[in-house]
Amino acid sequence: MREWSVGIVGGSGYVGGELLRLLLGHPGVSDIQVTSRRHAGRRIGTVHPNLRGRTGLKFRRAEDLQPCDLIFIALPHGESAEATRQLAQLAPLLIDLGGDFRLDDPGTWRHYHGVDHPLPDELCEFVYGLPELHRERIRRASRISSAGCNATATILALHPLYSRGLVDISRTVVEVKAGTSQGGNAPTAGSHHPDRSGALRCYRPVGHRHVAEIKQELGLRPSDPLHFSATAVDMVRGVQAVCHVFLRDPSLTERDIWAIYRQDYGPEPFVRLVNEKRGPHRLPDPRPLAGTNFCDIGFVRDPDSSRLVVIAALDNLGKGAAGQAVQAFNIVSGHSETRALEFTGLYPV
């Protein structure tokens, strides 16, 4: 199997650093180029200290990027679309980790963003990069848009139920708790340590942009309700989505629901079903997933109502970003889907 030459555009951020960590250990990658506006000419390890001594690579300017087999685009939200046309001339395969190409319809983009997409004709060229839903499309793709971290957790938690029409779609409530690395490495007033440490801050009670891709992948219309809130918690990595749904058929038992989730996710290498009856780890927790590409899913059936609480957890920089992008690369390139993603996490940390 041939080795691939790879570029990372925007490699100085947290996602770029995670991509580097994974790709430096990938036997199918022979050459890596990494760009950064601020750090061109500096060694990788001066920005990503965990990679000290691991590589002699230096950041380069974006305009110095040479043709390669694949480019990962790890730019901030809103910048990928501007860069895509130029980067497409340098590599036949693009994997965008931003949010610019996650929606497949220009009208839907306009509905959620209030403006027209800068490249509306190219939205349909990108495959939504969630392997559990779109593995075969990813395998044939030349443009992939990696799913958002909150969206990944929510979609994987709810898709088995929504795809079968088992829940009342008017009553779904999702509360996501997310670590601080989700906000990127650029400091803000809200991320200043004296203000941020110990905080439990609901930063997006309504109107989160990930709702658009969640609705798209669950088969909802933009006008259909999905009640979604996001809260920042005092941890660095991690996303936990707590999803409240109401079953249309109250006679469904826990055994029935487990069978549904096992049918969809039993063969999946990176979805783990958590079915413990007691103890502190009986429900998914993002902490032991740091550095991994796993999404853990569990649920609790409310005995007094038709409510089902489905909980999903993942590392926002792993399965929520860089790990999922490398998983898509493995699928496209013909490598084992788990290649370079075998790390099982640390416990305790």
**pLDDT, tens digit, 9 for 90 and up, residues 172-205:** 999 999 988 887 777 777 776 777 788 888 888 8
Q: Which amino acid is at 237?
A: R
Q: Taking 80 as the threshold, does the pLDDT of residue 15 lie above it?
A: yes
The pLDDT of residue 217 is 98
Contacts of 199 (CB under 8 A, 6+ apart): 232, 234
Q: Taking 90 as the threshold, does the pLDDT of residue 87 lie above it?
A: yes
Q: Would you place residue 53 in the very low, low, confident or very high pLDDT band (cuts 50, 70, 90)?
A: very high
- What would the pLDDT profile of 92-151 be if each residue is shown by its tens digit? 999 999 999 999 999 999 988 889 999 999 999 999 999 999 999 999 999 999 999 999
- What would the pLDDT profile of 148-158 be if each residue is shown by its tens digit? 999 999 999 99
Q: Would you place residue 77 in the very low, low, confident or very high pLDDT band (cuts 50, 70, 90)?
A: confident
Taking residue 348's Cβ as centre, other Cβ atoms within 10 Å add up to: 5
Q: Would you place residue 56 in the very low, low, confident or very high pLDDT band (cuts 50, 70, 90)?
A: very high
For residues 234 and 242, the model is more confident at 242
The pLDDT of residue 173 is 98
- What would the pLDDT profile of 307-339 be if each residue is shown by its tens digit? 999 999 999 999 999 999 999 999 999 999 999
Token pair in block for residue 119: 């490249």
Cis before residue 194, ω within 30 degrees of 0? no
What is the arithmetic mean of pLDDT over 32-59? 96
In this structure, what are the phi and psi dihedrals at residue 94, rounded to the nearest 5 degrees? -120, 135
**Distance separating alpha carbons of residues 174 and 228, to the nearest angstrom:** 5
The pLDDT of residue 189 is 72
Token pair in block for residue 90: 């340098």
C-alpha dist (Å) from residue 319 to 2, 83, 202: 25, 24, 23
Q: Would you place residue 22 in the very low, low, confident or very high pLDDT band (cuts 50, 70, 90)?
A: very high
3-state secondary structure of 234: coil
In this structure, what are the phi and psi dihedrals at residue 89, rounded to the nearest 5 degrees? -80, -15
The pLDDT of residue 333 is 97
The pLDDT of residue 208 is 86
Token look-up 């009986």 returns: 282
- What would the pLDDT profile of 196-230 be if each residue is shown by its tens digit? 788 888 888 898 889 999 999 999 999 999 999 99
The pLDDT of residue 78 is 84
For residues 186 and 237, the model is more confident at 237
What is the arithmetic mean of pLDDT over 335-349? 95
The pLDDT of residue 76 is 87
What is the arithmetic mean of pLDDT over 68-80? 93
Domains of the chain: 4-147+318-333 (3.40.50.720), 150-314 (3.30.360.10)
The pLDDT of residue 119 is 94
- What would the pLDDT profile of 289-309 be if each residue is shown by its tens digit? 999 999 999 999 999 999 999
Full strand arrangement of the beta sheet holding 295-301: 201-204, 227-232, 173-178, 239-246, 307-314, 295-301, 271-273
Catalytic positions? 149
**Distance separating alpha carbons of residues 301 and 285, to the nearest angstrom:** 18
DSSP-assigned beta bridge partners for residue 6? 32, 70
Token pair in block for residue 61: 């300017």
The pLDDT of residue 193 is 72
Contact 316, 289 (CB under 8 A): no
